[in-house]
Amino acid sequence: MKFITAMLSGLTLLLTGVTAAAETNLLFIGNSFTFGYGSAAMYYRPESVTDLNNLGIGGVPALFKSFTDQAGLDYDVYLETQPGAGLDYHLENKLGVIGRRSWDAAVMHGFSTLDSANPGDPQTLVDTASDMAEFLAGLNSDVEVFLTATWSRADLIYQADRHWTGTAIDQMALDIRAGYDKAAANSNPIKSVNAVGEAWTEAIELGVADPNPYDGIETGKIDLWTWDHYHASTFGYYLEALVVFGNVTGLDPRSLGDNECSGYELGMSRSEVHGLQQAAFNQLAKEGRVKAAPLILPKPVSPQRCGPAR
């Protein structure tokens, strides 16, 4: 990757004279687990973010942008995603797109099983996360990179002859997190891991979410997975965005309030929003990423889009 850094040095000089439109510009790099496949989140407020592939996607990046707006933070949010891809795909095919500007921060993840060919093996993730982080640091030596450890897939746990068949619902998330911890320890630009999978487990343990979509959803609980029991539902992507928001900004996700704007627009009840915010906070607090601060933050930039309080 050293030759890439050298190649980009001239580009970085050209970029230094450009005035940033926001205090922080942040890039999401990922796949369907970022762009929100299988849910209403996929095309949620796409005009609020910049899709570098021009596909009109909002997804988790748009939810993150909405949360930061409501918190009074100044972020420009971009995304570069490809379905079914690990970071190796982005390294091989998308550096020209990603390298058009420098980034203050980046949020990224690999394939949902760490390695598509060898589920549970973290080595590909470790190598590719390091290479991508080095590339991003070549654009901006002060970049902060966050890795997103994804969730336990119900289809790989409750169906026969899969890598995690018969294990507890939290085990896959723990295995995935262990792989991301190895990747984070291998690269200086990587600041920390967004513990999304463990926040899903927290939501289940709190009684907010049902642990097994194959046997029906218990009354009063939500389904974090969409119809394929693989990707997330709108609830699952919302929880992902809450964890990323808390870990990147250091703010208690509960400070967004039960009437949080995007939850309202996506049809969630106050109790559902509250429960998901609590699950995100619990996991973030366990790791010392946020302090309890359920404050009343500034109103959304466009409060009329949220409708009446419920």
pLDDT digits (tens, 9 = 90+) for 291-306: 998 655 555 545 455 5
Average pLDDT (123-131) is 98
Distance between alpha carbon 203 and the CA centroid of its chain, in Å?
16
Is residue 85 very low, low, confident or very high in pLDDT (cuts 50, 70, 90)?
Answer: very high
Look at residue 93 and tell me whether its pLDDT is greater than 90. Answer: yes
pLDDT score recorded for residue 293: 81
- Contact present, 135 and 98 (Cβ < 8 Å): yes
- Considering only residues 302 and 231, tell me which one the structure prediction assigns the higher pLDDT: 231
Which residue segments constitute the domains of the chain, with CATH numbers given?
A: 2-11+22-304 (3.40.50.1110)
Tokens found for residue 30: 């990922």
Instruction: Indicate the pTM of the whole model.
Output: 0.90
- Contact present, 226 and 233 (Cβ < 8 Å): yes
Is residue 22 very low, low, confident or very high in pLDDT (cuts 50, 70, 90)?
Answer: confident
Is residue 13 very low, low, confident or very high in pLDDT (cuts 50, 70, 90)?
Answer: very low
Is residue 9 very low, low, confident or very high in pLDDT (cuts 50, 70, 90)?
Answer: very low
Average pLDDT (185-203) is 97
Look at residue 1 and tell me whether its pLDDT is greater than 70. Answer: no
Say how far apart CA 307 and CA 259 lie, in whole Å: 10
Look at residue 235 and tell me whether its pLDDT is greater than 90. Answer: yes
pLDDT score recorded for residue 109: 98
Look at residue 264 and tell me whether its pLDDT is greater than 70. Answer: yes
pLDDT score recorded for residue 10: 43
Q: Tell me the backbone φ, ψ of residue 44, rounded to 5 degrees.
A: -75, 120
pLDDT score recorded for residue 26: 98
- Contact present, 98 and 106 (Cβ < 8 Å): no
Tally of CA atoms within 13 A in the half-sphere of 148 that contains its CB:
33
Average pLDDT (228-256) is 97
